[in-house]
Amino acid sequence: MNQLDLHSDATISALFQAWASAGRWLLGYSGGLDSTVLLNLCTRAQRLLRDAQLPAPQLQAVHVDHQLSPNHKHWVTHCEEQCRALSVPLIIKTSDVISQGEGLEAAAREARYGIFQNLLQQQDDVLMLGHHQDDQGETLLYRLMRGCGVHGAAAIPAQRALEQGLLARPLLNLPREQIQRYASSYGLAFIEDESNVDLQFDRNFLRQEVLPLLRQRWPSANRTLARFAGLAKEQQQLAHDMAGVDYAAVSTKDARFGQCLAIDKTLALPSHRRNNLYHFLLNALGIETSARVKITEIDAFAHSASAGKQLDAGHYSLRIHQGRLFFIDAQALTGLPRIRQPRGWQFEQHTDGVAGEIQLVETGSDVHPTPQGIRRQRYLLGQRMPNAVARVNGNGKSLKKLLQELGIPAWLRDLVPVLYADIDNASSAPNYQVAAIPGYLVCDDYKDAQGPRLEWQCKDANALESADLA
């Protein structure tokens, strides 16, 4: 494919055919060589579709001004002029790049992709980026030098899901030399980022020093590296499929807390499959490599089977409870519950620190609420109170003991919403009377067989279900 004739209309149509039915092409446009050629090719592909009287995607360019170069304002002006000449709408976004130890390049990339993600609003949006075959080899070498496994060696994918839409790289199989020749033949104007020659950046060192030396010795080095990345991608998919099989065998789900792993079943797997499973889960949860806890630490934590401890992994926290390993999103343990209630219901809410979503469900629903209906009256909704008491199956007990008996993990007991009887001057009463714990039970004095039932689950409890586990 590296010998494609980019002057041919048939070649251009074939190059963009996979994304021809998109509603919008959003092009990451830095003003440099690669994105300038891609912009030109996109306008040609769009025109060919219209000439064939076929629907053509809307084309918009996006320039992210990181404000890192003294020439950044000139770059903005250049992009505006080029897009105006092509009648392509241009979106300009400014970002403040703050490195928190991952390096300036990585921080800028994260900021840029964050902007792109926010702009991908529809399922038929496609983000076009100008990565080419040389970039593939550069990325592979960079990751190998950082000690990556087969997952990292797969390097740059030609296409992947991103937010609501897709990220596509139409030029990925083309060498930079061919892209340069195309720009010269069409007289395309582009800018040169002066930081590209700064060898303090690892990627620049690979691009300027290492890859040229490799090509002197092995002229087909770029194609060979790209081929290796393709083979690694196949191995990555095989590992992904195997992890999916193991995940189905060892995962367990409590509808209120989300996904978790049965520790005994997990530890029964061979170590290489456990490591593959942990890697799979971290990817599914969107934990970035820079924030990724070591796989060996997760395995040691699972072996410890020590309740009450936690292991942080990015914005997730690993917890152990009753023989299960939970991957808990810290953000899921914050925020107020969202109440969906039938008419006639009244709640006085004292919900600071309560997590999740409460839904009142009419009897007969196919969800998993409390097994008993609840009487319609006014209730106080809040979190665990120190003097709360409950009457269940004729027995009085403290709310603390009740939560323990229900098997609610210790880290959730202060976050589980509780309905209290709305007695007069409740705040000064010696004991709060528990009426119900949504999703678990209704206390004796508040049951109504004909009443609606209450469902509760942590916010984002189903994050793993909606992740790419297929």
For residue 161, CA distances in Å to 122, 171, 405, 467 come to: 12, 18, 43, 11
Query: What pLDDT score does 461 carry?
Result: 45
pLDDT digits (tens, 9 = 90+) for 285-327: 777 654 456 788 889 999 987 777 788 877 778 888 888 888 8
User: Which residues lie below 8 Å from residue 143, measured CB to CB, with a gap of 6+?
Assistant: 152, 153, 155
Quick one: CA dihedral 390, 392, 396, 397, positive or negative?
negative
**What pLDDT shows up at residue 324?**
87
Alpha helix stretches (DSSP H) within 305-428: 399-405
Whether residues 192 and 285 fall in one domain: no
Measure the CA–CA gap between 28 and 385, rounded to whole angstroms: 53
Tokens representing 162 are 């991103």
Contact 58, 88 (CB under 8 A): no
SS3 467: coil
Residue 54 φ then ψ, to 5°: -110, 150
Q: Do 285 and 347 sit in the same domain of this protein?
A: no
Q: Which residue has the higher pLDDT, 82 or 3?
A: 82
Cβ neighbours of residue 333 closer than 8 Å, sequence gap 6 or more = 355, 411, 412, 415, 458
Number of domains in the chain: 3
174 and 262 fall within a common domain: no
Is residue 73 domain-resident?
A: yes
What is the average pLDDT across 389-404? 92
Output the pLDDT for position 448: 87
Strands 24-28 and 316-321: unpaired
- For residue 241, tell me if it sits in a domain: no
Neighbours of 385 (CB within 10 A): 19
Containing domain of residue 344, as a range? 336-458
What pLDDT is recorded for position 104? 77
Kind and range of the H or E run holding 311: strand 310-313
Mean pLDDT of 219-239: 92
The answer, yes or no, to whether residue 337 has pLDDT greater than 70, is no
In angstroms, the CA 121 to CA 163 distance is: 8
Q: 142 with 165, same domain?
A: yes
Q: Do 260 and 229 fall into the same domain?
A: no
CB 211 within 8 A of CB 134: yes
Q: Tell me the C-alpha distance between 42 and 16, whole Å.
A: 8
Residue 58 domain-assigned (yes or no): yes
140 DSSP assignment: H
pLDDT, tens digit, for every residue of 397-416? 999 999 989 888 887 787 77
Q: Are residues 42 and 115 in the same domain?
A: yes
Indicate the residue among 298, 331, 364 that finishes a domain. Answer: 331
- For residue 149, what pLDDT is reported? 81
Verify that 353 and 326 share a domain, yes or no: no
- Tokens found for residue 255: 């509808």
Choose among 409, 383, 412, 402: nearest CA to 442.
402
Radius of gyration of the chain (CA): 28
CA distance 140 to 158: 14
73 pLDDT exceeds 50? yes
Asked whether residue 287 falls in the same domain as residue 353, the answer is: no
What distance in Å separates the CA atoms of residue 115 and residue 45, rounded to the nearest whole number? Answer: 25
CATH of the domain at 32: 3.40.50.620
Residue 342 is predicted with a pLDDT of 45
* 213 part of a folded domain: yes
CA separation for the pair 17, 197 (Å, rounded)? 35
Please give the backbone phi and psi of residue 42, each rounded to the nearest 5 degrees, phi first.
Answer: -65, -40
Q: Number of C-alpha atoms within 13 angstroms, CB side, residue 39? A: 30
Does the reported pTM lie above 0.75? Answer: no
171 in Cβ contact with 130 (< 8 Å) = yes
What does DSSP assign to residue 433?
B
pLDDT digits (tens, 9 = 90+) for 10-69: 999 999 999 999 999 999 999 999 999 999 999 999 999 999 999 999 999 999 999 888
Q: List, for residues 343-386, the tens digit of each pLDDT value.
A: 445 555 544 555 555 555 544 444 456 678 888 887 887 778 88
- Look at residue 463 and tell me whether its pLDDT is greater than 50: no
